Amino acid sequence: MIDDLTIEIREETNADHARVRDIELAAFEGFLQADLVDTLRESAVPYLSLVALVPSEIVGHVFFSPAFIECQAEPPAAQLSPIAIAPGHQGKGIGSKLIQTGLQECASIGWKAIFLLGDPAYYSRFGFVMASSMGLEYENPRFAPDLQVVELEPGILDGCRGTVRFHPAYAEAEDL
Ligand SMILES: CC(C)(COP(=O)(O)OP(=O)(O)OC[C@H]1O[C@@H](n2cnc3c(N)ncnc32)[C@H](O)[C@@H]1OP(=O)(O)O)[C@@H](O)C(=O)NCCC(=O)NCCS
């Protein structure tokens, strides 16, 4: 575990794009996540792309883009994906700091709830709960059991039930 203070989190700049792509390629099998990031930078509005540096080398990346809930009073929401830590730097608390800082930044952007598809064993520590328990279902039934959500404004999803959609690039990627 690295001392929390030695992990710097900041917004990505254009100069970081190549390094971010290398991290996505190294952390995941295949090109899917790296290509998604390139697509979303062009078409997701707004988006939040953060990098983690230890101490001056970028070793982690997280991306947030808008999510849409089909309910009457649809609150502004986002989804966290992808998140990637360079293989030699995993398990040292960098992913945790990226997520915690990312959620604070998302709140300041005005997003009220954050969704993701992932392992609850990891994401529950950041406050994520199963979205199905709140009556929210991911549009793709194949991945619906993995949908989790955290409210950045407590109670914002009360009475909001329905289908959750991400940027169309995700639906296209999931059909591959
Ligand atoms: C998943 C990932 C982002 C976590 O970041 P990290 O910096 O390695 O994790 P942290 O150091 O913050 O946290 C470590 C803890 O997370 C757990 N963890 C890491 N990856 C996990 C996973 N995929 N599922 C469940 N738990 C996981 C570790 O077991 C450890 O648990 P502990 O604190 O109880 O010992 C990173 O390992 C990674 O990039 N993995 C490859 C890409 C990936 O799977 N991305 C997520 C897709 S949903």
The 10s digit of each residue's pLDDT in 164-174 is: 999 999 988 88
Q: Which of 103, 52, 99, 42 has the alpha carbon at shortest distance from 77?
A: 103
Phi, psi of 56 (to 5 degrees): -125, 0
Q: What is the mean pLDDT of the chain?
A: 95
For 54-63, how does the pLDDT look when each residue is reduced to its tens digit (9 = 90+)?
Answer: 989 999 999 9
* Predicted pLDDT at 139: 95
For 101-121, how does the pLDDT look when each residue is reduced to its tens digit (9 = 90+)?
Answer: 999 999 999 999 999 999 999
Q: Is the pLDDT of residue 175 over 80?
A: no
Q: Is the pLDDT of residue 99 over 90?
A: yes
Q: Which atom of ligand 1 lies nearest, measured to the CA of 94? A: 7
Please choose from 37, 51, 80, 85 the residue to mutate so as to test ligand 1's pocket, defined by most ligand atoms within 8 A of CB.
85
- The verdict on the CB of residue 27 being under 6 Å from ligand 1 is yes
For 145-166, how does the pLDDT look when each residue is reduced to its tens digit (9 = 90+)?
Answer: 999 999 999 999 998 999 999 9
* Predicted pLDDT at 2: 81
Residue whose CA is closest, atom 30 of ligand 1? 91
* Predicted pLDDT at 89: 97
Using CA atoms, how far apart are residues 49 and 20, in angstroms rounded to an integer? 10
CA distances from 143 to 79, 96, 119, 137 (A): 14, 23, 11, 9
- The verdict on the CB of residue 83 being under 6 Å from ligand 1 is yes
- Domains contained in the chain, CATH given: 4-174 (3.40.630.30)
